[in-house]
Chains A and B, each alone.
Chain A
Amino acid sequence: MNPPPQKATVQVTRRFSASAERVFDAWLDPSTAGKWLFATPTGKMVKVKIDARVGGSYLIVEQRDGVDVEHVGEYLEIDRPRRLVFTLKVPKYSQENTKLTIEIRALDSGCELTLTHEGVLPDYIASTTSGWNMILDHLAGTL
């Protein structure tokens, strides 16, 4: 018997001093997204293509240790600046699509973002987590 893969959901909430619009746009504007979303300290961003419409797709490619790592997905919902839903797949690690839901609530000052990552597979994560931690430590240090 081959049971369907079971998946986990991860949710985080964070406040920003920037407006909901700016935080929302940071996910879809290629020059901004390329700087933080899939950027790593030692990697070289080689391609950021974002077709920001429902049904549109994105391709973010970073070269890491000479290997191109592609991040691909499709936008399922775009409701600026409240809600953004898209799929994420990193073919180098897994053929599984995961789903991200970004919800942004405007506050008197700034906004609050809630991120839900559904369908996170342990094997996919196991191969990417250590890299991510390194990347983010670096980013936090340089910005």
Chain B
Amino acid sequence: MLSASASLQSTWIALADPTRRSILERLSRGEARVTEIASPYSMSLNAVSKHIRVLERARLIRRRRAGREHFLSFNPDPLTSAASWIEEQRSLWMSRLDALDALLQAQNAAAAKTPKRKDKSR
């Protein structure tokens, strides 16, 4: 089982490649066979299979076997956790900037109480 950070890492790696993103886009419209996925790309089935394996490792796609056929489908869960992680980072920085704003306003208030020097820069 992957740790939370390792699985985020594998999500970034999977999404870093444009071919893999377009495979996901195709699968987000519905389940497809491996051969159907490969057909729009000017690369070998083997090369496409490698991309598919990366996506499977990142749990972004699932594979279902029906007889000889392999069907692939999109699993959005890792994207959701990646998005929520990004959102956490955003709110973290936002809180830091809130703290900066509060500090600057506190300095204004302190300066108003003890006007040691007037800043006439305006």
Taking Cβ atoms with an 8 Å cutoff, the residues of A that contact B are 3, 5-8, 10-12, 14, 16-18, 22-23, 26, 32, 35-37, 113, 115, 117, 120-123, 125-126, 129, 132-133, 136-137, 139-140, 143
With both beta carbons as reference points, the residue of chain B lying nearest to A124 in the complex is identified as B5
Q: Is A23 in contact with B104, judged by CB distance below 8 angstroms?
A: yes
The interface residues of chain A lying within 8 Å CB-to-CB of B15 are: 6
Q: Is A12 in contact with B97, judged by CB distance below 8 angstroms?
A: yes
With both beta carbons as reference points, the residue of chain A lying nearest to B88 in the complex is identified as A129
Contact A6/B12 with A32-B103, A126-B5 known, Cβ cut-off 8 Å: yes
Contact A143/B97 with A6-B9, A6-B16, A8-B89 known, Cβ cut-off 8 Å: no
B106 at the interface (CB under 8 A from A): yes
B99 at the interface (CB under 8 A from A): yes
Give CA–CA (A22, B121) in the complex, Å: 12
B41 at the interface (CB under 8 A from A): no
Taking Cβ atoms with an 8 Å cutoff, the residues of B that contact A are 4-6, 8-9, 12-13, 15-16, 82, 85-86, 88-90, 92-106, 108
A94 to chain B, nearest CB (A): 11
Chosen A-B contacts, 30 in total, with CB atoms closer than 8 Å, are A6-B13, A6-B16, A10-B86, A10-B93, A12-B93, A14-B94, A14-B97, A14-B101, A18-B104, A22-B104, A26-B104, A35-B103, A36-B96, A36-B100, A36-B103, A37-B96, A37-B100, A115-B97, A117-B93, A121-B5, A123-B5, A126-B4, A129-B92, A132-B92, A133-B95, A139-B102, A140-B98, A140-B99, A140-B102, A143-B106
Q: Is B95 in contact with A132, judged by CB distance below 8 angstroms?
A: yes
Contacts A17-B104, A18-B104, A123-B6 given; 4 further ones with Cβ under 8 A? Answer: A6-B13, A14-B98, A23-B104, A26-B100
Give CA–CA (A46, B55) in the complex, Å: 46
The interface residues of chain A lying within 8 Å CB-to-CB of B90 are: 10-12
Give CA–CA (A28, B90) in the complex, Å: 22
The interface residues of chain A lying within 8 Å CB-to-CB of B99 are: 36, 136, 139-140, 143
The interface residues of chain B lying within 8 Å CB-to-CB of A14 are: 94, 97-98, 101
Give CA–CA (A121, B7) in the complex, Å: 12
B105 to chain A, nearest CB (A): 7
With both beta carbons as reference points, the residue of chain A lying nearest to B8 in the complex is identified as A122
The interface residues of chain B lying within 8 Å CB-to-CB of A113 are: 97
The interface residues of chain A lying within 8 Å CB-to-CB of B16 are: 6
The interface residues of chain B lying within 8 Å CB-to-CB of A125 are: 5, 85, 88-89
Q: Which 3 A-B pairs have the closest CB atoms?
A: A6-B12, A136-B95, A143-B102
